[in-house]
Chains A and B, each alone.
Chain A
Amino acid sequence: MRPLEYLRLSWRSIRGHKLRSALTTLGVVIGIAAVIAFVTLGASLQAGVIGDISPDDQRNAYGWAADPDVEGGPLAGAQPVFSQDDLETLSEDEEIDAAYGYMPLSTQALVYEDEISPQSDALVAAGPSYIREETLDEGRQFESGEREAVINPAVAGQFEENVSVGDELTIVLQGGQGTNVTVVGITEDSEGLSPFEGFEPSPRVYVPTDPYYTEEAATMLPGDGGPGEDGPGEDGPETENPETEEPAALQDGDEADDALFLAIVVEADSADDEDVDAARERALAYLESDESDASELLGDDLEVTLQTSAELLQQLQDVLDLLQNFIVGIAAISLVVGSIGIANIMLVSVTERTREIGIMKAVGAQNRDVLGLFLAESVILGAVGAILGTALGLVAGYLGAWYIDLPLVYPLEYVALAIVIGVLVGVASGLYPAWRAARTDPIDALRYE
């Protein structure tokens, strides 16, 4: 007897019990659908996140200093140790195209034409090239030393009248003092520009570290600003000591030298791995050497981490993978439950059709024919369940990806794998019932009522 005949005959008996077969298949459908949906979402999420790394971003290494024991994403446990002098020295290195500080600054509100919009952490101070040309929708990068800002559409659209290039904004800082900026550019979208910010859209105003951070830092670093003392924590310096008066900094003389950055961005000459690695090594070597200001502050507890966006996202990716494996594991359990369901219904079916088995054997069916017929039936149940589950999972994944606005990626190898698993589930769950059917004694079976 040919395999196709098994399938044809088995399909007939499955159709003979439509509801029962459908319910049996449901277990597999749900298991496979869950796996496919989460894998599709995971792949889409990955594509979405990786897709956000622009080619120009690939040459950036993002650095911060933290206790190596602290786990987490970018800036976790970061302490401000990078001085302006260090950044200048780094910038002069031939392997390094540019190096600048990065500092998130707390604010109270943004004011545009007397309209006040409360904003707690919309301000990001960085170097001019932090705003990459291709992310700008209009205008230009801000210039260092100027009171200029680049805003994103989330900020621009926040006021009754849209903010456009050339307009003036007032930023109310944490301490209550206001500072004016001229908007010189607007970015294309409101997603973060680097892993430091995260990638989710939120209103942000980008300003040059000089003057904004250096000024700000000056207002709050009373002494030498060591992190061990009352230096700024990871939440940003401004929360530490908002009431500090201007003169405190003035006592210290050169304010720019005292500004310590929470994080730095080191730009390599190109996005080539070699260039990025070279720039990173040079930067690390310098920061850890005695020549740098940072090395003093690093002490024994802190360590500088310098990573590219891709590497930083890898950590996020690892977390996502872990989560996904966990969910896929649960889905796999439901697959096991599904296959027990198939095995159960196949056993019922074998008992129910004892007489039919007897007839078939009487008219010349070999044991392997009976085995094949019942196995084909459970394989069909498993495979149909897998196909329906895959379709359902893809639709669910698609809806999910659409809902959280991710590029849709269909993990085709998983689709193929799902079908294979469906067949395997069918074989595994059908083997024992089919074996029992095959060894049924035709004499007993024909007498069976």
Chain B
Amino acid sequence: MKTGSAVSLEDVRKTYQLGEPVHALDGVSLEIERGSYTAIMGPSGSGKSTLMNLVGCLDTPTEGTVVVDGRDVGSLSSRERTQLRGATVGFVFQTFNLMPRLNALENVALPQLFQGAGRGERRDRARTLLERVGLGDRADHLPNELSGGQRQRVALARALVNDPAIVLADEPSGNLDTETEADVLDLFAEFHEGGTTMVVVTHERHVADRAERIVHLLDGRIERIESLEEEASGRPSEPGSSD
């Protein structure tokens, strides 16, 4: 296991040229420790998606550095970035984003395919994870034969299959009803207990409350970071620091 932060952002700016420059992120510095559970909150346009794309190695910063699992994302070629993403980041999306023609097992196994794992190895690993998310008996079902909660659990299993340094969840319960949302969030907690670094982007307070801390974004800056470590004693919040 590598030491240091799973993700480290230092004075990150992301500017889009849409007629006039738009600063989606305007000087963000953030450390995400290994094994931590972070929620990112903020209204629309606050830079949540941009931050997630950067942490997920889908994009590179205009300025500043993003270090994921010890590697500076901005300095990598597109190919190296893809490699890093495949090996160290697991995605969970609001709309599940499962491959419609692959069954649950194959969906879970998909990321390993691009890492060059053999077929038997892929299937064994995928089956283990499907069992851990409680879908061992749904392995050969197609996504459209699964409920929303089941699909999200498949997606979570897929995110975990390469043993990533960080799991990035974007509104993971946005399309789920209250009960299945609780199930999925319980699973998140369970994997977090097991040592997985979790980052959840959400605009729902009760989802964010399951994390250890909440990063509040506003207008491309970190408004404040709220620590929830001592949950039992109410909600002591500390003032956030942006740039």
Residues in chain A within 8 A of chain B (CB atoms): 1-2, 5, 9, 12-13, 16, 355-356, 358-367, 369, 442-443, 446
Interfacial chain A residues near B98, Cβ < 8 Å: 359
Are B110 and A363 interface neighbours, CB within 8 A? Answer: yes
Known: A364-B82, A367-B79. A446 touches B93 (CB 8 A): yes
Are B97 and A446 interface neighbours, CB within 8 A? Answer: yes
Are B91 and A360 interface neighbours, CB within 8 A? Answer: no
Known: A1-B116, A355-B97, A356-B100. A363 touches B86 (CB 8 A): yes
Are A443 and B97 interface neighbours, CB within 8 A? Answer: no
Known: A1-B113, A355-B97, A359-B97. A443 touches B82 (CB 8 A): no
**Which of A13, A361, A369, A443 meets B59, CB within 8 Å?**
A443
- In the bound complex, how far is the Cα of B101 from the Cα of A366, in angstroms? 20
Are B59 and A12 interface neighbours, CB within 8 A? Answer: no
Interfacial chain B residues near A359, Cβ < 8 Å: 97-99
A-B contact pairs, 14 of them (CB 8 A): A1-B114, A5-B119, A16-B101, A356-B99, A360-B110, A363-B91, A363-B110, A364-B86, A364-B114, A366-B79, A367-B78, A442-B58, A443-B58, A446-B93
When C-beta atoms are compared, the residue in chain B nearest to A439 turns out to be B78
Are A360 and B102 interface neighbours, CB within 8 A? Answer: no
Interfacial chain B residues near A13, Cβ < 8 Å: 101
Are A363 and B158 interface neighbours, CB within 8 A? Answer: yes
Known: A12-B101, A12-B102, A443-B59. A362 touches B116 (CB 8 A): no
The range of chain B's interface size is: 20 to 34
CB of B56 closer than 8 Å to a CB of A: yes
Interface set, chain B 40-66, CB cutoff 8 A to A: 53, 56, 58-59
CB of B15 closer than 8 Å to a CB of A: no
- In the bound complex, how far is the Cα of B46 from the Cα of A211, in angstroms? 114
- In the bound complex, how far is the Cα of B85 from the Cα of A356, in angstroms? 17
Interfacial chain B residues near A361, Cβ < 8 Å: 82
Are A443 and B53 interface neighbours, CB within 8 A? Answer: yes
- In the bound complex, how far is the Cα of B29 from the Cα of A11, in angstroms? 46
Are B97 and A366 interface neighbours, CB within 8 A? Answer: no
- In the bound complex, how far is the Cα of B100 from the Cα of A356, in angstroms? 8
Known: A359-B98, A362-B58, A363-B114. 7 other contacts (CB 8 A): A5-B113, A12-B102, A356-B99, A364-B87, A366-B79, A443-B53, A443-B58
- In the bound complex, how far is the Cα of B59 from the Cα of A5, in angstroms? 28
- In the bound complex, how far is the Cα of B129 from the Cα of A34, in angstroms? 52
Closest 4 CB pairs of A and B: A364-B86, A363-B111, A364-B114, A16-B101
**Which of A16, A365, A442, A446 meets B114, CB within 8 Å?**
A365
- In the bound complex, how far is the Cα of B85 from the Cα of A233, in angstroms? 89
Interfacial chain B residues near A2, Cβ < 8 Å: 116
Are A360 and B58 interface neighbours, CB within 8 A? Answer: no
Interfacial chain A residues near B158, Cβ < 8 Å: 363
Are B91 and A362 interface neighbours, CB within 8 A? Answer: yes
Known: A13-B101, A16-B101. A362 touches B56 (CB 8 A): yes
When C-beta atoms are compared, the residue in chain B nearest to A368 turns out to be B79
Interfacial chain A residues near B86, Cβ < 8 Å: 363-365
Interface set, chain B 196-221, CB cutoff 8 A to A: none
Interface set, chain B 210-234, CB cutoff 8 A to A: none
**Which of B85, B93, B99, B100 meets A364, CB within 8 Å?**
B85
Interfacial chain A residues near B119, Cβ < 8 Å: 5
Are A369 and B58 interface neighbours, CB within 8 A? Answer: no
CB of B83 closer than 8 Å to a CB of A: yes
- In the bound complex, how far is the Cα of B102 from the Cα of A59, in angstroms? 70
Chain B positions 62 through 96: 1 when the CB is less than 8 Å from some CB of chain A, otherwise 0: 00000000000000001100110111000101000
Chain B positions 97 through 133: 1 when the CB is less than 8 Å from some CB of chain A, otherwise 0: 1111110000000110111100100000000000000
- In the bound complex, how far is the Cα of B85 from the Cα of A397, in angstroms? 55
**Which of A1, A355, A356, A364 meets B83, CB within 8 Å?**
A364
Known: A442-B58, A443-B53. A364 touches B101 (CB 8 A): no
Are A366 and B82 interface neighbours, CB within 8 A? Answer: yes
Report the minimal beta-carbon distance from B140 to chain A, rounded to whole angstroms. 13
Interfacial chain B residues near A364, Cβ < 8 Å: 82-83, 85-87, 111, 114-115, 162
- In the bound complex, how far is the Cα of B58 from the Cα of A13, in angstroms? 26
Interfacial chain A residues near B82, Cβ < 8 Å: 361, 364-367
When C-beta atoms are compared, the residue in chain A nearest to B111 turns out to be A363
Interfacial chain B residues near A355, Cβ < 8 Å: 97
Are B110 and A362 interface neighbours, CB within 8 A? Answer: no
Are B85 and A362 interface neighbours, CB within 8 A? Answer: yes
- In the bound complex, how far is the Cα of B91 from the Cα of A443, in angstroms? 12
Interfacial chain B residues near A442, Cβ < 8 Å: 58
- In the bound complex, how far is the Cα of B159 from the Cα of A362, in angstroms? 10
Interfacial chain A residues near B102, Cβ < 8 Å: 12
Interfacial chain B residues near A367, Cβ < 8 Å: 78-79, 82
Interfacial chain A residues near B101, Cβ < 8 Å: 12-13, 16
Interfacial chain A residues near B99, Cβ < 8 Å: 356, 359-360
Report the minimal beta-carbon distance from B51 to chain A, rounded to whole angstroms. 13
Known: A355-B97, A443-B58. A360 touches B114 (CB 8 A): yes
- In the bound complex, how far is the Cα of B119 from the Cα of A361, in angstroms? 20
Report the minimal beta-carbon distance from B104 to chain A, rounded to whole angstroms. 14
Interfacial chain A residues near B111, Cβ < 8 Å: 363-364
- In the bound complex, how far is the Cα of B113 from the Cα of A362, in angstroms? 13
Known: A13-B101, A356-B100, A443-B58. A366 touches B114 (CB 8 A): yes
- In the bound complex, how far is the Cα of B78 from the Cα of A13, in angstroms? 27
When C-beta atoms are compared, the residue in chain B nearest to A6 turns out to be B113
When C-beta atoms are compared, the residue in chain B nearest to A2 turns out to be B116
Interface set, chain B 160-209, CB cutoff 8 A to A: 162
- In the bound complex, how far is the Cα of B56 from the Cα of A442, in angstroms? 11
- In the bound complex, how far is the Cα of B38 from the Cα of A55, in angstroms? 92
- In the bound complex, how far is the Cα of B116 from the Cα of A365, in angstroms? 10
- In the bound complex, how far is the Cα of B158 from the Cα of A107, in angstroms? 90
- In the bound complex, how far is the Cα of B102 from the Cα of A367, in angstroms? 20
Report the minimal beta-carbon distance from B14 to chain A, rounded to whole angstroms. 12
- In the bound complex, how far is the Cα of B119 from the Cα of A355, in angstroms? 25
